[in-house]
A and B are shown apart, each in its own frame.
Chain A
Amino acid sequence: MDRHITLPLTEENTKDLKAGDYVYLSGIIYTARDAAHKRMDETLNEGKSLPIDLKDNTIYYMGPSPAREGRPIGSAGPTTASRMDKYAPRLLDLGLRGMIGKGRRSEAVKEAIIRNHSVYFAAVGGAGALLSKAIISSEVVAYDDLGTEAIRRLEVKDFPVIVVIDREGNNLYDMALKEFARE
């Protein structure tokens, strides 16, 4: 079912999200991928605080191509989420509510989603030009030296995603295989 959600996600509005739902997100999300996750993990290991507040926030696993003049961002589609599996449970336990990426997640991530009432969305992989149209503004807020891998604060409007793992642990990828496998 199609839904429109104004961010931030909360304990309340993740309750109704079910694997397979098509959702349009509007509001603020943050980008972080491999190198930013590694650095956030190291920061936590040193007992320091993170450059962004995770509470009820959503992280988009994405590293954009450079913006042409007059545009907020370049091509901006999701990267493979499983590379962040090593770090995601810790961030979820610290209050992270949503993740946007593509591809499978580990059991540990699924358990952390259930434990924390969070959600994993997929955006359409390889549709970076289309998805860039739903991004209104982009600003680097941390780790500028990482280039495309810096943490960016994005304002999005009707950003299209699909619920893949809901807070009950239902997984759309598994459900889809059961429905469409023919041999």
Chain B
Amino acid sequence: MREIDVSEVTRAIKEMCVEANHRLSPDMKKALYDGCEKEESSLGKKILMQLEDNLKIADEDTIPICQDTGMAVVFARIGQDVHFTGGDLEAAINEGIREGYTEGFLRKSVVADPLERVNTKDNTPGVIHYSIVPGDKVELTVAPKGFGSENMSRVFMLKPADGAEGVKNAVLTAVKDAGPNACPPMVVGVGVGGTFEKAAELAKEALLRPVGEHSKVEWAAEMEKELLDRINKTGIGPGGLGGTVTAFAVNILTYPTHIAGLPVGVNICCHVNRHAHRVI
């Protein structure tokens, strides 16, 4: 058994909140650069060049890439041989979010109650997905999620008979409905299978996969390519102002499901697909 003091978790989460909001991963930067080359609309190209400039300014001047620095989504994969000491793990994660957002000049976008809507003023709590895995390490991912695109995300409870065409139509419907609202070019996370909540969680997790990598499931990899092509033919384009680069990637994750169901979760992310990753 390995002991880990929860203050280490707090420190890692804090640093990742700041990092993710100022710098995108290399695959996202490359996707933007490639998109700029491919875009056929002159206005679309101009928008993509501005987004490249925006990333440069964010990095060099330490200004968040987007003012919506998101609700902090945390994936914590915890080795079963780890014993946490020094306090409550969940409190430690939220303390990391609190310190990251207050000390890092990030926007506080969380309200304590969905109807009363009073801001918590420190962006806590985050949304935390735990899983227990073999080993004695703790793998943490912070993925701040903006709500322009989150609001356009959907869960479809399809019938088994709807099959592959049903899944594709569900994704295309969500993307077309999102249109300019979700700050395209988007990354589209898709979860197929599981239950109602599993499909949504898979869709969220799918956004973490680097742009350009495909599913190991053969049909899913094919569907990712086909859907990306069809999404880029919708005409939505950068900023929704028209063009041929509407999405950078479609990432599908799958899970076994029930004989009666075909759940499909579609989590849309804007071009600011942020995530930072650490192993303790």
Q: A63-B107, A75-B65 are in contact. Are A176 and B54 (CB under 8 A)?
A: no
Which of B47, B67, B121, B180 lies in contact with A103, CB distance below 8 A?
B180
Tell me, in angstroms, the Cα distance from A64 to B54 when the chains sit together. Answer: 15
A130 lies within 8 A of chain B by Cβ = yes
In the bound complex, residues from chain A placing their C-beta under 8 Å from that of B241 are 122, 162, 172-173, 176
Consensus secondary structure, chain B interface: loop
Judge whether A180 and B242 touch: CB under 8 Å.
yes
Q: A124-B51, A124-B239 are in contact. Are A129 and B64 (CB under 8 A)?
A: yes
Closest to A81 in B: B181
Q: A66-B105, A79-B148, A148-B107 are in contact. Are A176 and B240 (CB under 8 A)?
A: yes
Judge whether A74 and B107 touch: CB under 8 Å.
yes
In the bound complex, residues from chain B placing their C-beta under 8 Å from that of A67 are 105
Closest to A34 in B: B117
Judge whether B63 and A173 touch: CB under 8 Å.
no
Judge whether B181 and A103 touch: CB under 8 Å.
yes
Judge whether A126 and B66 touch: CB under 8 Å.
yes
In the bound complex, residues from chain B placing their C-beta under 8 Å from that of A35 are 117
Which of B50, B146, B180, B236 lies in contact with A127, CB distance below 8 A?
B50
Tell me, in angstroms, the Cα distance from A130 to B57 when the chains sit together. Answer: 6
In the bound complex, residues from chain A placing their C-beta under 8 Å from that of B80 are none
In the bound complex, residues from chain A placing their C-beta under 8 Å from that of B53 are 130
Closest to A148 in B: B107
Q: A103-B179, A122-B180, A172-B241 are in contact. Are A128 and B64 (CB under 8 A)?
A: yes
Q: Interface code B235-257, partner A: CB below 8 Å = 1, 0 otherwise?
A: 11101111110000000000000
Q: Interface code B129-172, partner A: CB below 8 Å = 1, 0 otherwise?
A: 00000000000000000101001000000000000000000000
In the bound complex, residues from chain A placing their C-beta under 8 Å from that of B180 are 102-104, 122, 125, 173
Tell me, in angstroms, the Cα distance from A79 to B147 when the chains sit together. Answer: 9
A68 lies within 8 A of chain B by Cβ = yes
Judge whether A128 and B181 touch: CB under 8 Å.
no
Q: A80-B148, A176-B235 are in contact. Are A65 and B240 (CB under 8 A)?
A: no
Interface residues on B, range: 35 or more
Judge whether B234 and A177 touch: CB under 8 Å.
yes
In the bound complex, residues from chain A placing their C-beta under 8 Å from that of B50 are 124, 127, 130, 160
Tell me, in angstroms, the Cα distance from A175 to B236 when the chains sit together. Answer: 10
Could you tell me which residues of chain B, from 215 to 272, have a CB within 8 Å of some CB in chain A?
A: 230, 233-237, 239-244, 270-272
Tell me, in angstroms, the Cα distance from A178 to B182 when the chains sit together. Answer: 19
Which of B51, B65, B243 has the most A CB atoms < 10 Å from its CB? B65
Could you tell me which residues of chain A, from 116 to 134, have a CB within 8 Å of some CB in chain B?
A: 122, 124-130, 132-133
Which of A149, A177, A179, A180 has the most B CB atoms < 10 Å from its CB? A180
B94 lies within 8 A of chain A by Cβ = no
B175 lies within 8 A of chain A by Cβ = no
Instruction: Tell me the smallest distance from the CB of A157 to a CB of chain B, in Å.
Output: 16
In the bound complex, residues from chain B placing their C-beta under 8 Å from that of A40 are none
Judge whether B117 and A181 touch: CB under 8 Å.
no
Judge whether A66 and B66 touch: CB under 8 Å.
no
Closest to B238 in A: A124
B119 lies within 8 A of chain A by Cβ = yes
Which of A80, A129, A160, A181 lies in contact with B233, CB distance below 8 A?
A181
| CB-defined A-B contacts under 8 Å, sample of 27 | A22-B46, A63-B107, A65-B69, A68-B63, A74-B64, A74-B105, A75-B107, A77-B66, A102-B148, A102-B180, A104-B181, A122-B240, A122-B241, A124-B239, A125-B239, A129-B61, A130-B50, A130-B57, A147-B119, A148-B119, A172-B242, A173-B241, A176-B240, A177-B235, A177-B236, A178-B235, A181-B234
